[in-house]
Amino acid sequence: MPAILILKTGALGDVLRTTSILPGLQTRYPDQRIVWLTAPSAVDLVRLHPRVDRVVAVDPKKPGDLERCRAELAAFAPWLRVLSLDDEEPLCALASELAAPWGAPGVLSGAYLDREGQRRYTQDVAPWFDMGLLSVHGKERADALKVANEKSHAAIYAEMFGIEMGEPELPLLPEHEAFARRFVQGQAAQLPRPWVGLNTGSGGRWESKKLSPERTVELAAALADARGGTLGFVLLGGPEEAERNREIGARLAARNLAHVDAGTDNGLLDFAALVARLDLLITSDSLALHVAVARRVPVLAFFAPTSAAEIELYGRGAKVSSTAPDYCSYRRDADTSTLTVARLLPPALALLPEA
């Protein structure tokens, strides 16, 4: 029986949000197996999804890995659909190769290599790829389209593939739930509720995605004041946020704000289990945002260099965007000065549950 292949690697958050297409694909193709090809670092984000039959990890830079993937994928051929959602040349070449033997029109959707070895994309995915690096319109027009876009990633993908818009999902195993339970019963046992997660960094590459430690603490203090001090703050982040979170923690302590550092070396699904325990997550445009959406956690997200319109919160959150001229410019030094406590506080308070 022909199967459906999804090629999606890239940033972890992008992989997770792309799982929004799975419910619609299953509804449209109820008897088809779904295979997902992704980077080794992203396997945990899709391997437990009930609508994914097989996950194949690929590292195009690793010698022999593409050949191994071809052999593993051969067991599922021929392909009913090949959804090629990456723009890396080796993966475009693989998509072209896998779609070719089936031969029927409409099998391949997405990026591929043409006969001259040039990267192209099929017309049906133009609404997304026209705004990206492969845009047939050139970078300047692609950037303008991205700024003007008002549709979310989930909505665009649903329209492209002729399916109902779904939600991303990130299932967990009992061992991950147990990890979060130990955190609740241990480090966080005395932390007052509601719990507000602070994930205001964004790794080392995107300085302009971040909220400064100073502003993060000012926002936390304003929230605590507005709620009479009955709040607990949970510091979240990855390995590159370790020192930053120590600084935030010290500043919170200096203001007698109840908090706990959840650590920065947690596994992906352990991290997701921690996020799932929050009452509200305040976050940059980062993996944590997509984890919160997938785990149905209320979220307040702020944006400066990237597009807020692309993010679908499914009615469980709020977005605050920079009003500076370089909003959505994808500049690493984009202006974040308009992401003020005065603008962030009201939506945060509106999302907080009662004590």
- pLDDT per residue over 169-189, tens digit each? 999 999 999 999 999 999 999
What is the spatial distance between Cα 325 and Cα 293, in angstroms, rounded to a whole number?
Answer: 28
Structural domains in the chain, CATH included, are 3-161 (3.40.50.20), 174-351 (3.40.50.2000)
Q: How confident is the model at residue 105 (pLDDT cuts 50, 70, 90)?
A: low
At residue 164, the 3 state secondary structure works out as: coil
pLDDT of residue 263 exceeding 80, the answer is yes
Measured between its terminal Cα atoms, the distance across the chain in Å is 53
Q: How confident is the model at residue 103 (pLDDT cuts 50, 70, 90)?
A: very low
Q: How confident is the model at residue 243 (pLDDT cuts 50, 70, 90)?
A: very high
Q: What is the b/e burial string over 291-316, where b = at least 16 CB atoms within 10 angstroms of the residue's CB?
A: bbbbbebbbbbbbbbbbbbbbbbeee
Q: Tokens 């990206």 correspond to what residue?
A: 132
pTM over 0.75: yes
Instruction: Give the pLDDT of residue 102.
Output: 43
Is the bond leading into 347 cis (omega within 30 degrees of zero)? no
Task: List the structure tokens of 264.
Answer: 């920065």
At 85-96, the pLDDT tens digits run 999 999 999 999
pLDDT of residue 204 exceeding 90, the answer is no
Q: Which residues contact 347 (CB under 8 A, 6 or more apart)?
A: 300, 318, 320
Q: What is the b/e burial string over 265-276, where b = at least 16 CB atoms within 10 angstroms of the residue's CB?
A: ebebbbbbbbbb
Residue 128: CA atoms inside 13 Å, Cβ hemisphere, count?
A: 24
Instruction: Give the pLDDT of residue 355.
Output: 65
Burial label, 88 (beta-carbon count in 10 A; 0-12, 13-18, 19+): middle
At 19-73, the pLDDT tens digits run 999 999 999 999 899 999 999 999 999 999 999 999 999 999 999 999 999 999 9
Q: Which amino acid is at 14?
A: D
pLDDT of residue 77 exceeding 90, the answer is no
pLDDT of residue 346 exceeding 80, the answer is yes
Query: In terms of DSSP bridges, do strands 108-113 and 119-121 run parallel, antiparallel, or are they unpaired?
Result: antiparallel
Better pLDDT: 104 or 121 = 121
Say which DSSP state 73 is in.
H
Q: How confident is the model at residue 101 (pLDDT cuts 50, 70, 90)?
A: low
Residue 238: CA atoms inside 13 Å, Cβ hemisphere, count?
A: 15
